Amino acid sequence: MAATRVITRYRTPPKAKRHARAKTTIPLALVVGFAPMVTRFLTNATKGEGIEYAGKRALEDLTGYRVEDGKWSLGGDHTAKYGLYPILVGLVVHKLANKVGINAALGRAGVPLLRL
């Protein structure tokens, strides 16, 4: 019988997949949600009774808590419609854009620093 000859075959290792580094992007829908509160804050700070008044109104817009009364309310003149609600709507729009794939399409298109 003839001796069998052993041939060792070496596989070349697969190349590591290269991907782009994650870049910081700004969620536009969420930033737009903050716009009414910021404009209201700046208006109250300049035309109202100063920064303290504007801070109290901003707290009320975000949480619904009125400092003067110590009561919680999401209705009335100073409401969450200028703070909390637009931010929540922006968050929901951002999440829906992720699910639908709009943000991925913006990334593939090469739009810098921006996503919904």
On whether residue 30 sits in a domain, the answer given is yes
DSSP state for residue 71 in the 8-state scheme: E
What token pair was written down for 110? Answer: 């090469």
- pLDDT reported for residue 31: 92
On whether residue 79 sits in a domain, the answer given is yes
Residue 4 has pLDDT above 90, yes or no: no
- pLDDT reported for residue 17: 79
Q: How many domains does the chain have?
A: 1
For 41-95, the pLDDT digits (tens) are 999 899 878 999 999 989 988 888 888 888 888 776 667 888 888 999 999 999 9
- First-to-last alpha carbon distance for the chain, in angstroms, is 74
On whether residue 15 sits in a domain, the answer given is no
Q: What does the mean pLDDT of the chain come to?
A: 86
Residues of the chain with pLDDT > 70, as a percent, come to 97
On whether residue 5 sits in a domain, the answer given is no
Task: Give residue 47's domain range.
Answer: 26-115
On whether residue 8 sits in a domain, the answer given is no
Rg of the chain over all Cα atoms, to the nearest angstrom: 27
On whether residue 88 sits in a domain, the answer given is yes
Cα dist from 15 to 8, 11, 18, 20, 89, whole Å: 21, 12, 9, 16, 44
- pLDDT reported for residue 38: 93
- pLDDT reported for residue 1: 64
Chain-centroid distance of CA 115 in Å reads: 9
Burial tier of 87 (Cβ tally within 10 Å: 0-12, 13-18, 19+) = buried
On whether residue 78 sits in a domain, the answer given is yes
Residue 39 has pLDDT above 80, yes or no: yes
On whether residue 17 sits in a domain, the answer given is no
Q: What burial letters (b/e) apply to 36-71, b meaning 16+ CB within 10 Å?
A: bbeebbeebbeeeeeeeebebbbebbeebebeeeee
Q: Any alpha helices (H) in 4-116, and if so which ranges?
A: 28-47, 51-63, 84-100, 102-108
Give the pLDDT mean for 21-39. 87
